[in-house]
Amino acid sequence: MNKKTSFPKRFLWGASTAAHQVEGGNHNQWSVWELENAKTLAAQAEYQVQDFPAWDRVQPDAKNPDNYVSGKATDHYRRYKEDFDLLEQMNMNAYRFSIEWSRVEPQEGVWDPEQIAHYKRYLAELRQRGIEPIVTLMHFTLPVWFADKGGWERRGNIKYFIRFVEKIMSELGNNVRYIITINEPEVYGFCSYKIHEWPPAKRNTLLAMKVIYHQTVAHRRAAKTLKRINPRFKIGIAKNSVFMYPGDDSWVSRISARVAQFLQDDLWLTRVAKSSDFMGLNYYMSQRIIGHRIHNPENTPRSELDWLIAPGDIEHVLERWHKKYKLPIMITENGIADGEDEYRKEWIKETLEAMQRAISHGVRLIGYMHWSLTDNFEWAYGKWPRFGLARVDYKTGARQLRPSAVWFGKVIKKLRKS
Ligand code: BGC
């Protein structure tokens, strides 16, 4: 790592989770869909996953329908203190998580005081440990009643989300400063409405665009509501960005890469930037474009999910966003599915170096949240992809930091001192 470029004094070092992926015992549109689709997903795994590098190791899980049911997940809802211990063991001072709307408002207009009290205790616990909470208000899962009304498909439904935002942040706001309104609207729109891999599994490009657009409107309205509750809240959105680069010098490749980046990032970011105090970046991969197609380099290492391993390219996204939007940036997700912990240490190391380069080029980077604190329920893939800094034994619930995480904890300690 470059010893000369130091990270800002109050830099946030942390890890991320999302409620449905860890809490366990949730009842929402996703849990309903899991139960209906687990068998099919298990049967399809043979065809969809067999070319992935980890197939031999993961196939017993990937072919098992139980893998596709979140069930009690990592039981984080009850074991959150143990998970906060892990943050402390890694010398982290921040933690990103989401509030499960379906717990707080299980029926339309009916609030559950027990669940609100749970999240109050949860936040108080973080504060007591000196850990800055970064709260996400929408991370893919919807209360069943909201989904039944058409979810994000209808503009008229945005008001229900705003009512939830107002209620929950009026209750919890005292302990919160950083808020992510919505996680990855475009990933949700794409996977749920274009490639029909996530609920409600529709295939309709126009509807996908509408769903994404409605979430950008929801972000703007939520930001207004939140600023009314507390003008000191720092508000952002978490946006996934795949770095697109031309693989040769031809004008077709160059233009295609630019257009793809625009469609993926700017089309949406321009709609939310003005009502954001910072931007949340979820970075996992880059893609090489030759002609007008994706042609990634072959024979390079890939993650369990067959994603190209190119952590250093995060620098280009950071610098691009900085130039275009001039807002502080928080890395809200970044990591690798790697159950054997073969690549994670190098991944983090290269990412930290890329962050340092970006900072030295003027990027205002305020935090880094690794995805994920623990192994968790990876949506339509279920539990076999392992993104955790800590390994979770789903049978016993035991957690253990992986070697890369122990190393990362030491690095954070040094960086926080320097
Ligand atoms: C999502 C996470 C997910 C991660 C890895 C992001 O798109 O926000 O929920 O687990 O990617 O796939």
* pLDDT block averages, 10 residues each, the chain of length 418: 77 98 98 98 94 95 98 98 98 98 98 98 98 98 98 98 98 96 98 97 97 98 98 98 97 97 96 98 97 92 95 98 98 98 98 97 98 98 98 98 98 94
Give residue-wise pLDDT tens across range 281-297. 999 999 999 999 999 99
Question: Taking CB atoms and a 6 Å cutoff, what residues make up the pocket around ligand 1?
Answer: 18, 21, 183-184, 187, 240, 282, 333, 371, 378
Class of the CATH domain delimited by 12-417: alpha beta
Task: Provide the pLDDT for residue 6.
Answer: 82
Nearest residue (CA) to ligand 1, atom 5: 378
- Best residue for ligand 1 mutational test, from 98, 308, 333, 347 (most atoms within 8 Å of Cβ): 333
Residue 375 near residue 392 (C-beta atoms within 8 A): yes
Cis geometry, peptide bond prior to residue 418 (ω within 30 degrees of 0): no
Q: Which two tokens stand for residue 90?
A: 């890694």
160, containing H or E segment: helix 158-172
Radius of gyration (Cα) for the chain, nearest Å?
20
Ligand 1 atom closest to the Cα of residue 187 is 7
Task: Provide the pLDDT for residue 323.
Answer: 98
Distance from residue 219's CA to the centre of ligand 1 (Å):
19
> Residue 71: CA atoms inside 13 Å, Cβ hemisphere, count?
12
Question: Which residues have CB under 8 Å from 174's CB, separation 6+?
Answer: none
Give residue-wise pLDDT tens across range 188-246. 999 999 999 999 999 999 999 999 999 999 999 999 999 999 999 999 999 999 999 99
Strand locations in 71-187 (E): 94-98, 132-136, 178-183
- Best residue for ligand 1 mutational test, from 98, 198, 264, 282 (most atoms within 8 Å of Cβ): 282
Distance from residue 186's CA to the centre of ligand 1 (Å):
12
Q: Which two tokens stand for residue 126?
A: 């973080």
Ligand 1 atom closest to the Cα of residue 282 is 6
Distance from residue 140's CA to the centre of ligand 1 (Å):
10
Ligand 1 atom closest to the Cα of residue 337 is 5
Distance from residue 114's CA to the centre of ligand 1 (Å):
28
Task: Provide the pLDDT for residue 2.
Answer: 64
Q: How far apart are CA 417 and CA 304, in angstroms?
A: 34
Nearest residue (CA) to ligand 1, atom 3: 378
Tell me the pLDDT of the chain averaged across its residues.
97
Distance from residue 49's CA to the centre of ligand 1 (Å):
18
Closest by CA to 70, choosing from 34, 104, 106, is: 34
Q: How far apart are CA 110 and CA 18, in angstroms?
A: 23
Distance from residue 113's CA to the centre of ligand 1 (Å):
29
Task: Provide the pLDDT for residue 348.
Answer: 98
Strand locations in 35-111 (E): 94-98
Ligand 1 atom closest to the Cα of residue 18 is 9
DSSP string covering 321-386:
HHHHH---EEEEEE----TT-SSHHHHHHHHHHHHHHHHHTT--EEEEEEE-SB----GGGTT-S-
Nearest residue (CA) to ligand 1, atom 10: 378
Task: Provide the pLDDT for residue 1.
Answer: 65
Ligand 1 atom closest to the Cα of residue 240 is 7
- pTM of the predicted model as reported, rounded to 2 decimal places: 0.98
DSSP for residue 152: G
Helix axes 185-193, 205-229, angle to 10 degrees: 150
C-beta atoms surrounding 306 within 10 Å: 13
- Best residue for ligand 1 mutational test, from 378, 381, 383 (most atoms within 8 Å of Cβ): 378
Distance from residue 158's CA to the centre of ligand 1 (Å):
23
